[in-house]
Amino acid sequence: MPVIDADAHVIETPETWSYMQDHEQAFRPQIFERAEDDGAPRRANQRREYWVIDERLLSKGSNVGQDVPADSRNMTSIQSRLDHMDEIGVDIAVIFPTLFLRPLTREHDVDFALARAYNRWMAGIWAEEKTRLRWVCVPPLLSLVDRAKVRDELAFAKEHGACGIFMRGAECERLPSHRYFYPFYEMAQELDLAITFHAGINSFAVHDAYAGDVAMFRAKFPVLGAFSMLAQEEIPARYPGLRWAFIEASAQWLPYMLGEARIRLQRKGRPVPDDILAENNFYITTQMTDDIPGLIAEVGDDHLLIGTDYGHKDTATDIHAMKRLAEVGDISPTSVEKILKTNPAVLYGLR
């Protein structure tokens, strides 16, 4: 079986938005470049370049890893990406977006145009290498009032190499257990696309409240919240064929959240599954900074994955994670095989 990087990334470029239709050109993201000699004082972490979407300045290049080739992280050279995957021991990369880790717009037509363009850009990349480069699509969730339109977009992505759907712990200023998303989850189940809750947030209120040095609250914690809400409110039971993943937030929190779910289900008088992860089709990315042997002892090895966070430079990034996991002496070969190969293959439907 192939080694699967369960969390890799691509860095969007102006080419990403070239797929916008004629009537969407007013929504096309622009790049604002700050003049270095403008005489204005510099703030901490101030960037030279920004994306401009809906007249908002969005940081560009703030989470870009310099330890990978530039033409690989932005996919301008497919061969460069494949060559580097060979070097770091990855057979298949599941690719997530970068810009979409934060809220971009409150307008449904802008949201749809951005999602549609990104999905077609990634479809074009997949067309050049259909076996090794898989991806998760960006859903236009602000357009869910038009279910057929959203389903058509998801179906296009599925037909063009998508193996999952990108979500954050809050979407459209709603939590993932909200009934607003029920028709969307039905579409995902029907199309056999995994729901992947990735680190990030799509709530302007949460994102802006936790600006600065408390990024964990707007990036990592929403993933934990999504896990807790779905488990306690028994949302996965409504969609037994749907697989759910919680990506790039470590897994050290997992025993605590499982314990909380059991307590809260008991207090509601609800049955508590012997194996909450298996019952709910939950999968979680671990990372080399976790106590992986301890996690396996507590929760087993059937629902853990690992990714490189390729192209980024944050606390989850480890482009050599796949090789390093295989070299850890206190993790059995069977567990390594499951984390690197079997489990991500099941989650993403790559069997």
- Domains in the chain, CATH or no CATH each: 4-13+65-347 (3.20.20.140)
Query: Contact at 8 Å (CB) between 322 and 285?
Result: no
What is the tally of helices (H) and strands (E) in the chain?
Answer: 14, 11
Edge-to-edge order in the sheet of strand 49-53: 30-33, 49-53, 56-59
pLDDT by residue (tens digit) across 280-317?
A: 999 999 999 999 999 999 999 999 999 999 998 888 89
- In tens, the pLDDT along 82-141 reads 999 999 999 999 999 999 999 999 999 999 999 999 999 999 999 999 999 999 999 999
Q: How open is the CA angle 132-186-238, to the nearest 5 degrees? A: 115
Provide mean pLDDT across the span 146-161: 98
Q: Which amino acid is at 300?
A: G
Residue 230 has φ and ψ, to the nearest 5°, of: -65, -40
Which are the contacts of 147, defined by CB distance < 8 A and separation ≥ 6?
183, 187
Give dist(CA 282, CA 337) in Å, integer.
18
Residue 195 near residue 225, CB atoms below 8 Å = no
DSSP letter (8 states) at residue 171: B
Q: What is the CA radius of gyration of the chain?
A: 20
pTM: 0.94
Alpha-carbon separation of residue 50 from 58, 67, 99 (angstroms)? 5, 22, 11
Q: Tens of pLDDT along 207-218?
A: 888 776 667 788
